[in-house]
Amino acid sequence: MPKTDPSIGLPAPFRLAGFEGSLGEWLDYLEWQYRAIIGEAGLKLWGKPIRAAGDGAQAADGRDRRFWHLITTGTAAHTERTRRLDLRRCAMFGQVWALLELAEAEDPRVMWWRWGDTVFLAPVDTSMVVVLRETKGEFLLTSFYPVRGQKQRNRYWRHAATSWRTGESQRVDRRHRLWRAYCRGTKPTAVHLLTVGYRT
């Protein structure tokens, strides 16, 4: 995993390698972060609290099933039961919290776009995506994942640009010095609109 650029405003990944406790203690810490994100830290986005998606059901070990969904990767079977622990996603979980805090503060290092009732958030380097579903009174944390490779990154740029053109993601452009650096001279249509701004 590449090192995190500190100018993006996200903490370094919290890897199991180098952690002095057990795997269970590492997962306990990740679960504490999850609980903070979905309520205990009081995070809000555009005035609405962030909660967990799903029915709040527990997995076999007593942890929230949504928590397990967030830190695991699907398999060819495409069932919740066959998902496998993903150490890369686990290590990035603290970055989800940080990204949501930056979005709450309308920090220009966060991009966001809308697809129906789904809102996507990403740091300006597009290294990860956080997926939220908006309801009348809250945002539901649905998923997050690292963005792997330029092909997947370009796909998200295209989604974001389409979201802007269709009027789904209205905002005021607040160009940030980093947006040019991270599109590396190949800026797609409307990439300048992907920096965070205010709803209009």
What is the per-residue pLDDT for 84? 86
Tell me the mean pLDDT in the region 39-63.
83
In the sheet with 128-134, reading across from the earlier edge strand, the strands are 44-45, 48-52, 139-146, 128-134, 118-123, 110-115
Residue 21 banded pLDDT, cuts 50, 70, 90: confident
In the chain, what are the helix, strand and coil shares in percent, each to the nearest 5? 35, 20, 45
Instruction: Kindly indicate the confidence band of residue 123, based on its pLDDT and cuts at 50, 70 and 90.
Output: confident
18 or 139, greater pLDDT? 139
In a domain, 35, yes or no: yes
**167-178 average pLDDT score:** 54
Domain membership of residue 65 as a residue range: 13-147
Q: Check if the beta carbon of residue 190 is closer than 8 Å to that of residue 161.
A: yes
Once rounded to an integer, what is the mean pLDDT over residues 183-192?
A: 42
- For the chain, what is the total number of helices (H) and then of strands (E)? 5, 8
For residue 195, the tally of other CB atoms under 10 A from its CB is 21
**Does 70 reside within a domain?**
yes
Number of domains the chain is built from: 1
76: in domain: yes
Instruction: Specify the pLDDT at position 181.
Output: 53
8 lies in some domain = no
pLDDT of 195 reads: 43
Q: Rg of the chain over CA atoms, in angstroms?
A: 17
Residue 98 falls within a domain, yes or no?
yes
Q: In the prediction, which pLDDT does 33 show?
A: 93
Q: What is the mean pLDDT of residues 23-40?
A: 91
What's residue 127's pLDDT?
Answer: 86
CB 28 within 8 A of CB 88: no
- pLDDT tens string 65-122: 888 889 888 766 666 776 888 888 999 999 999 999 998 888 878 888 888 889 999 8
Question: Is residue 1 one of the residues assigned to a domain?
Answer: no
In a domain, 68, yes or no: yes
pLDDT of amino acid 175? 44
Residue 173's pLDDT is: 42
Residues whose CB is less than 8 angstroms from the CB of residue 77 and which lie 6 or more positions away in sequence, other chains included: none
pLDDT at residue 189 in the model:
34
In a domain, residue 45? The reply is yes
- Closest alpha carbon to 161 in 115, 118, 109: 115
